[in-house]
Chains A and B, each alone.
Chain A
Amino acid sequence: MAWLVVRLAISLSLLYTASAVFEDQVGKFDWREQFIGKVRFALFDTHSQASKKLLVATDKNVFASLNSRTGDLFWRHVDKTGPEGHIDALLMYGQDAVVVVGNGRLLRSWETTVGGLKWEAVLDTGSFQAAALIGVQDFVKYVAVLKKSAISLHDLSSGSQIWVENLPDSDTVQYQTIYSGGNGLVFVLGFVPSSHIVIVEYKIEDGEIMKKKSVEAAWMSSLENSCAVISSGNLLCVDQITQSLYTLPLQSAEHTEMRQIHLQTLDLEVASGFQPVLTSTQPNPAQPPLAEFFLQLSPDHHILLQLKDDLIAPLRDFNPSYLAAFATSGEKTVAAVMTPKNDTVSHISKTLFLKKVFLCIYLYCNGLFFLLKACSINLFSADTGRRHLDTTIIYHMDPNGGKPNRLYVHAFLKKDDSVGYRVMVQTEDLTLTFLQQPGRVVWMREEALADVVTMEMVDLPLTGTQAELEGEFGKKADGLLPMVLKRLSSQFILLQAWMAHLWKLFYDARKPRSSVKNEVTIDTLSRDEFNLQKMMVMVTASGKLFGIDSKSGTVLWKQYLEDIQPNSIFKLIVQRTTAHFPHPPQCTLLIKDKDTGLGSLYVFNPIFGKKSHISVPALPRPVLQTLLLPVIDQDYAKVLLLIDDQYKVTAFPSTKNVLQQLQDTASSVFFYLVDSSQGKLSGFRLRMDLSTELIWEVVIPTEVQKIVAVKGKRANEHVHSQGRVMGDRSVLYKYLNPNLLAVITESTDMHQERSFVGIFLIDGVTGRIVHEAVQRKARGPVHFVHSENWLVYVYWNSKFRRNEFSVLELFEGAELYNSTVFSSLDRPHPPQVLQQSYIFPAPISTLEATLTEKGITSRHLLVGMPSGNILSLPKMFLDPRRPELISEQSREENLIPYAPEMPIRTEWFINYNQTVSRVRGIYTAPSGLESTCLVVVYGLDIYQTRVFPSKQFDVLKDDYDYILISSVLFGLFFATMISKRLAEVKLLNRAWR
């Protein structure tokens, strides 16, 4: 109870200093974008015509409902990460969606209108194979789940298990598919590789095995893609090696062998090396599937076939065609096929012949690729293969995007009973495009942004007028008069711009609000007066780069880098900012393969997203470390050093000028390498000839502990005050070592009594261990922030089962050894280290500190929590000098008395109810205002906001009462006038008396 009071008192005392959001600030400078990830299953709600629902299940273990008219989320359920939350199957019937989760562990049924869970059933363990809805007499009542060794049937309305049966010979037979035609039987299909197919027939009511038969199939290698059930229980398989189709009626007892149909008899041939794919459709689970099916013979060749009277007849050949899909509306089933648009090809080739060569080259660079990649989607009737008239959708592929790889079709009946349709196309770069006729993009989602790996914020370029003004200061003085004239002219330009702005405001004010839209485009981008609007350059795991306007969240440019390995590591480096007009800003992305370590560089302009045509050094050896030096070349680009596994250094850019400068500064360039597999940290120095020499080495034995993270300080961080003024007016100087590295280790012994977390503070130049701390009975994951003279880290206390914060602060003492320059080589006195720990009563997913332009503003820690909230915790609470006993001096210093538990107030959540799912990282950047720090939180969602750790002390508040102040001023003015007049009258009267 007493502690409660203390806590309350402390939190009350800090109410004034901590930042919080006002209700009217909602959406003013913050925005959130919600994502779902790569779509694995997508189903349109065809239950009713007016339904706008699109149900999706993704590889991020997200199950969501999208509004198919706008692309917005109706609701979204984010499950656990990893295989335990993996969505294996999505089935939909009426208003209910059934999802199989976690390798067949859970079966969930969702009500799709509001997104509520109807029931959840836990299934037996066993690897999941297939799931299907089972209908009885035109009515879908059950869902069947096939595992490796068992099949179970569940009631669709309650989730209760009807029966579960073990599959016969499950150790030899691989059961893979399940089929039911609505006739009271469930077929389970399995096979023994290169031997035979097994068909087991179950009765729906009690799970009794009705029949079991095996059919010879020596060619069989997989059931899943190469087989399909069509037309009232005919199993159809395709084999690439024998180039034939095989059919078998499932129910008939007399057939003991599959009927072989050579593809040659149909004039077909499977492309070499391509596994042919069969696609059938079963519009209603209570009815047998249709007799028509697609056979994909090569990546761009589909054919629509029909099985009729045991004969297979081709209905239509689609060559070339990229994608094909079935869709059903009411009684009609249609097939949509995406084909390359033919006329554009011929058009281009004509242009190529007619126009001159240079134009051709120009077209080739800019237009040809784009135009050739326009596709048309057409609708065909499934039962005849006839093309529906006026159903073409033209799909223009993004020239900076990837190829389409999935097609989802939403067919609906129009008023005149013809079939209309819309399509959703998913591309390799995870863009979802929703199109309607004749090719209008209804909405677009960039799902690659669900997996942002790293990001940077780049200042926007100045406008022409601003650049004009700035340019005035940079140039050398050429006499008084020209200077004055120049100033006058630039001021005049400014005035002109201001007038134009006013005119625009006036003009817009007359228009209705809806039509006024401040569209942000690349051309109108310019820096605002406080540099609050920046360009967010985001790198995603799929290899797509984005440029996003930080003010509105609009994607301004995107670039898909093809042939990126899925397990690549990315490092984004800003080599030149926008400050060096007319040189364009320059970003470099280092793409490194996780396994081989081989890397490549991609250089681009972060504002426009265009690739720079700068020659990039080839990196034949694995890159171990990168280093951005403050050395700049004649084009103002900072020099990037890349160190390979033979400790050779490659400089980029490597002009003569740069090499010269590097030779001059080589003796003061040090870098470190971490080898966590051997537990080795080593320091190197650059030599004049760009080779390196080993200076120090610290070995942390891997038998006991392993290095989990090494972090230096941020290069763009400023520390405003050199020390802290104590209560007795003396100064405690901070130990501000820019070369300090924080090394976090975790014990290999994970037993909760013996596990520990180790913290080493190592000077990166000399290799001296400045401080060493061990947190016993603790384990990771450790999140930490290393800044100024402090290190804050969070670990899990396994004894008390709680998260704990610990803060280390380093001080030089009452005197500075060398106050002008810090040198790691000349520091005889070790720093004083203070430490304190606190309980954090919530789980943590990430940790970052705010950053401001000059470092005057107090610091806050931004704590990302699994619940999706971002807590802004004042660094004041993490001060190792918090006293246990309050003295006069501590009061003078404004130290909060020590309390073991850290307060969490919902007012400190900077993102109020805009929760960010699966926070992966927080990026902070200073703005032009000292009080303001820009924050981007990324994970499954992206959230951008501004925080004011010490409140907005350098600008007028949002709620500044202009009316009050002006009314008071006017009131006073008039009062003065009136009283002056009265006084005059009075004087006059008195004079007359």
Chain B
Amino acid sequence: METRVGSRACACVALLLFALHASLGHEHIKLQEDEETAEELKLRAPEGDVRVQVSGRALVPGVRTQDWVAHARVLLDGDTHVGFIREDGGFSVSDVPSGSYVLEISSPTYRFQPVRVDITATGKMRARVVDYIRTSEVIRLPYPLQMRCLGLHSYFIQRETWIWSDFLMNPMVLMMVLPLLIIVLLPKVMNSSDPEMKREMEQSMNMLNSNQDLPDVSEIVTRFFSPPKSHGRAGGGARASVGVAQGVRGGASSVRGGAPRRRSKINTAVTSSE
């Protein structure tokens, strides 16, 4: 049940990951029961009767505390211990037994980084960064806790809206529109220039056009859009190249079933000239 886009993106990431994997080497941490000496084993002393108060301060910059504290709660390890935030932003969670807890501020609007709080059997406390993979790593944070809002929760994804500028700036559209513009505009520019120059141009075009069997679309379109009166004037100049492009043009005209009569006239003219 995947979209094509998803699978393609996934494949890209897979490549990226492959590259990363080589660099990771044996740092790879797996969820297996490997015997690891945890530094804070002493923290897990049998739970005594020590009950402490975890306190700190939460801050949402630029927002009055009254506006958000009524909907926020302080949660320790889910909702095993709950605290509320005071009107000055301070909070305290009472009666927490010794152990290690993840303290988070749950607010439906604002996002906070959770903090791990370790309480020893003697009631000493420290705060550190939550790392679920390297659980023994200690990056100390200040205690009493300073919880700073990281921004708003982004619950919604943007709709793909259809805007003209987006459409026009799309590379595919640009690739299609720009040549079209050139094709339409170029003959107009050419008309005013002298036939010598035009012949030169066409010669260089032929040089570029190495594959003779393919229909030369640009030429057909050029001819199609150029005003009919130019043929009368530039006829002699064009003749040299016509012979080369003859088969091509014939093929193209047969492909484009309802081609204008004008072109078939040129075709007959070419055959008669030969």
Contact = CB atoms under 8 A, between A and B. Distances in A.
Nearest to A81: B79
B106 interface: yes
B82 A80 contact: yes
B156 A16 contact: no
Interface residues on B, range: 35 or more
Interface stretch (B63-71, B195-203, B213-221, B231-239): B63-71
B17 A886 contact: yes
Interface of B: 1-3, 5-7, 9-18, 20-21, 23-24, 27-31, 33, 38, 44, 53, 65-67, 69-71, 73, 75, 77-82, 84-87, 92, 94-95, 100, 102, 104, 106, 108-109, 111, 130, 132-133, 135, 153-162, 261
B182 to A, nearest CB: 23
A865 B75 CA distance: 11
Interface in A74-121: 75, 77-81, 84-85, 102, 105-106, 108, 111, 114-120
Contacts of B81: 80
B85 A117 contact: yes
Contacts of A804: 31
A554 to B, nearest CB: 25
Given A3-B133, A857-B1, 13 more contacts: A2-B20, A10-B13, A13-B13, A20-B156, A105-B95, A106-B94, A114-B67, A120-B94, A839-B133, A844-B78, A891-B10, A894-B6, A909-B153
Contacts of A5: 20
A476 interface: no
A2 B27 contact: yes
A912 interface: yes
Contact of B31 (A80, A900, A950): A900
A311 interface: no
A858 interface: yes
Given A122-B53, A802-B132, A839-B31, A906 B155 contact: yes
A114 B84 CA distance: 14
B162 A961 contact: yes
A769 B106 CA distance: 43
A507 interface: no
A990 interface: yes
B94 A894 contact: no
Contacts of A752: 44
Given A906-B153, A907-B155, A14 B6 contact: yes
Interface string A933-955: 00000000000000001110100
Interface in A782-826: 799-802, 804
Contacts of A909: 153, 155
Nearest to B27: A2
Interface stretch (A21-29, A240-248, A523-531): A21-29
Contacts of B130: 841
Contacts of A841: 130, 132
A379 B71 CA distance: 38
A120 to B, nearest CB: 6
A13 B6 contact: yes
Contacts of B154: 906-907
A6 interface: yes
Contacts of B30: 900
A845 interface: yes
Given A21-B155, A24-B159, A913-B109, A896 B77 contact: no
A9 B86 contact: no
A116 B155 contact: no
Given A839-B132, A906-B155, A913-B108, A122 B94 contact: yes
B56 to A, nearest CB: 13
A907 B79 contact: no
A9 B29 contact: no
A890 interface: yes
Nearest to B154: A906
Contact of A913 (B53, B86, B155, B157): B155
Nearest to A908: B155
Residue of A802, A838, A914 with most partner-chain B CB within 10 A:
A802
A721 B75 CA distance: 42
